[in-house]
Amino acid sequence: MALTTLDPKTALVVIDLQNAVVALPGTPLTTADVVARSVELADAFRAKQLPVVLVRVETTPADSLPGRTESPRRATSIGVESSARAAYEHGYNVTLATDAMTDLNEDAHKNSLTWIFPRLGESGTTAEVLELLAKTHS
């Protein structure tokens, strides 16, 4: 769904941008690009005195986790998608900056952008989110 509005009470939630995750190769976007866009968004939200929430993945040794743990962690299709789902299920309006996220697997990334995110909220580029932020929170 195209980007149309931001709520008067809105927050930026940044998912899993700690060093271990950022060191992984991103596809189709580099993690450097994702970090730069996330910083741009965070600076803009803070300038408007809106909350910025930094969510950090907890990692534990694989042998201490129940079940299958040999799958590598991803950004878009795991962390961002599960957070967006949870927000949607709790009744929040979800807006996703699609060029501020990446994945280890390009097909998984495309699946989230094409099939999952349109069902959960609105999506747009960082520039589109910033433009809407400037209009709705002036």
Indicate the pTM of the whole model.
Answer: 0.87
Nearest alpha-carbon partner for 130 in 1, 30, 12: 12
Least reliable range by pLDDT among 58-62, 85-89, 101-105, 119-123:
58-62
Position 7 scores a pLDDT of: 93
Cα–Cα distance measured from residue 43 to residue 50, given in angstroms and rounded to the nearest whole number: 10
Position 108 scores a pLDDT of: 94
Q: Would you call 27 exposed, middle or buried from its count of C-beta atoms within 10 A (0-12, 13-18, 19+)?
A: middle
Position 67 scores a pLDDT of: 58
pLDDT in tens, 57-99: 776 555 555 555 555 555 778 899 999 999 999 999 999 999 9
Average pLDDT over residues 38-53: 98
